[in-house]
Structure 1
Amino acid sequence: MAMKFLDDQVLIHYYLEGDEKAFEVLLLRHKDKIFRSIYHKLRDREIAEDIFQETFVKIIQTLKLGNYNEEGKFLPWAMRIAQNLVIDYFRKQGRMKMINERSAKSDDFNIFSILKMDELNIEQSISKDELESQMIQLIQHLPESQKEIIEKRIFQDLSFKDIAEAENISINTALGRMRYALINLRKLIEKHQLVTDLD
């Protein structure tokens, strides 16, 4: 059987056994989707290409260290690595992602909007960096079904239609879970007294 017909997990197994061609097939299979996800968040092709390369270096390192255990879920795992590298980039650039509840029912919904911090003093910069970390932590406290919706929509850049198909639910159910996720995030924000309006 040609390698291009093998599933991801089999390709990973062959690659770890020393078959470099297996990883090439894996890369060709997923590179467009992973790159689009990175570029969509950065809107800068050169930087997106750098982070894309870094993503696959990290993927290779993790595989060779034997730390990959996401059986059958290579693409979501790779997307999370890319997303974390994008977040790292924003941190280094003094920019961060903030909660934004606009258009939860819209397919162009984005729970994060990027804010520039060029004119902020050090104290404000530290506060925003802490807030970003807290927001990411708050998402982890959501019910699993709601957390999965946010991770698929934001971190994996899937449409609500794709999420509905992946979860085997209706689009309305996916939208409903996102809505409740936002409601719960608002409650968590109020409970922890986080300030998200930093204009």
Structure 2
Amino acid sequence: MEIIDDSRLVDAYILGNEAALAELIDRHKNKVYGFIFSKVLDKDIAEDIFQDTFVKVILTLKEGKYNEEGKFLPWVMRIAHNLSIDYFRSRRRMPVIGETFMDEEFSIFDFLADPEDCSETKIIKEQIDKELRQIIDYLPEDQQEVLRLRIFKGLSFKEIAEETDVSINTALGRMRYALINLRKVIEDKNLSLTMV
């Protein structure tokens, strides 16, 4: 049986063949997941980053912004690498005091309170959260569901698929359309997620 190369599968997916994406994911999932896991060393976090990687892949392909000239896997690995770095940046990092402490770089900001603890920040986040929930109401029911499960409940796409009794590809697709439609609603209604 002929093995179709990645670039032909990418082209097929862009033209609407969903099975081509499933083949690409299946072909590279172990390498991509293994790479992410080697960085974060946590199964659940690795699964979330893996799924976010392929959400970004899908969005980029569907928006026609992919131009890696047949280098699909290195491109996906670069996305996975960047999302792994984003994960570490988003966490509060405290230096470990040990024998090498004096030799390592550290920032005074590592010792300050998390800005999320600030009451003003909490109020702003609550306001944005409230506005976002109202905007989501404009979306179709299946898109509302996937957004609420992902954003407000923090479920992985695997968990969303199980909760809604659909495939992971369907859950990813609904999220993609939900984000596209959310952007349209915000633009059409001239809304902004800011404190009034």
User: What's the TM-score once normalised by structure 2's chain length?
Assistant: 0.48
Relative contact order, higher structure (CA 8 A, sep 6+) = 2
More helix by percentage: 2
More strand by percentage: 1
